[in-house]
Structure 1
Amino acid sequence: MSVRTSSRRRRTGRRPSTALTLAMAGLLAYALVPLLWLLMASTKDAGSLLDSFGLWFGRSFQLFDNVGDVLTHDDGIYLRWLANTLLYAVVGAGGAAFISTAAGYGLAKYRFRGRGAVAALILGAVAIPGTALAVPTYLLFSEAGLVDTPWAVLLPSLVSPFGVYLMRVYAAEAVPDSLLEAARIDGSGELRTFFTVSLRMLGPGFVTVLLFALVATWNNYFLPLIVLSDPQWFPLTVGLNQWNAMATGAAGSGATTDNFYPLVVTGSVLAIVPLVVAFLFLQRFWQSGLAAGSVKE
């Protein structure tokens, strides 16, 4: 019997798919080759960037010189953009994660009139791209006098329909109703139960939403481009695009400035580093957050 079983398993075992392997290798190359080019380009000077092979080093290793130029150009405006990006990402992503956790928990664990309509509205909002709301947001903030202030970037960052939807699904399974009933019997109020009991159990989901919101806020470009005109409040995405416009002659003068190419490339590399560090630090929470609540025991 054991011989038949083992032979049957060998016959029915799935063989690796060559086409699928090649497709995955192609997708991996599609994701990593631009990153490799960016890393190689950050070690070159302006001349080597234009006349050398993109996926290899240039005539001289200029990485540290390029980093110094990025950090000191225009009285260190890059550091100002980095501080702005950290402000928008930490406050915006942290606030979005907390609001999404509280809203998703409320939708999952409380019964109230209009609950289904609210859930449907949130699900519909997930399908609306943020770029479609950028111009209406600008007009609204212009009437409120918030244009060209950090609030014009922070307030929209606090809204995350996908985060609310994700936390609703996660909270439905992660927090047992029996535990909430036991807390109520012991005299615990709803807010106290949420902060002392439920929030601890929602930790992996909270970190998952935080990571998604952090990436979205860090890479946010179109909204800051519309609502901000003062370079002192630019995030890295808008600031680097301004340097790129100077390098390509699109800034209005019509003349190109090759010296800006190393600034753009090296600044882009430095902009990736904090996001990579945050991803590596939160990765284990992110993986557990995606898996928990996906099956019902």
Structure 2
Amino acid sequence: MPDKGQLEKYEEIVGQMDIKGTRRDPAIIKEHAVNQQAGCVDAYQHLAPVIDTDAYMNWLRFMLECKGAVMETRRVNGDLLDQEQQLLAEYGADAIVNATGLAGLELAGDASVYPLRGALIRVVNDGSKFPRVTEALAVTHDDTRGEDEDIVFIVPRNDNILILGGLAQPHQYALDLTLDSPEIKRMRERCNKFVPGLENADYDPDAALVQGLRPFRGSNVRVERELRARKDGSMSRIVHSYGQGGAGFSLSFGCASDVLDLVQELEHDIKPTRMGTEKRERRKPVADVYEHARL
């Protein structure tokens, strides 16, 4: 029987009119040379963008600098609210956007922030040691099974590199994993069993293993203004955007749009409101609201 959680995800995707190439068919398993003993009984596919994150970040920085942004590396310690007025004056700024990931624990006094350690193996995907993988293959984590290591993540990153994963370890700060770490070996074995031939793959000579910390929160992504008032009772001009976890690139466009709306609220001296734990309705741009009010 198909997994209930996966079936719900598929039905949600089908309900989105702008997602192309959607198809559900057990035949997809054979078409992608997935091991028939891997336990897969059903599959679906859809078109989705895949980006080279390193190239994207370089491009994004270039675009910001072209628009006049100045990059500065600096460490800020303690509660950002206590330093807000000093920082605004120092930089001649109208607002502060706190998009510091795990640092939200300290800068926003948010005790619900925690890391989810992850790691990916990089192998050569040129077709010489195994049939070249050209489409992403994934089995996502299933909370109902009580297993922490059931993720299969096989994604072509560029012309010659294939990413193998995945791993999700909450509250682990140390970035000390190696190819010989037990959880990394198990991760490689899961991918090898899923697609026969991967066991022959050579490691990427430049970076065989990459690892990092995903910034999670206990409840939800936080995209909202600072709700606490300053010591003098005035309204804070801090906007928070953190806790995106492992979906930072996917959520970045929507979060940035929400941040813009919140900054526009500041420009019109609108009092901050608390972000609910449920998905909130998309705001209408403040400028449009005021335009209609004048009409």
Calculate the TM-score normalised by the size of structure 1.
0.26
Calculate the TM-score normalised by the size of structure 2.
0.26
Structure possessing the higher radius of gyration over alpha carbons: 1
Of Structure 1 and Structure 2, the greater helix share is in 1
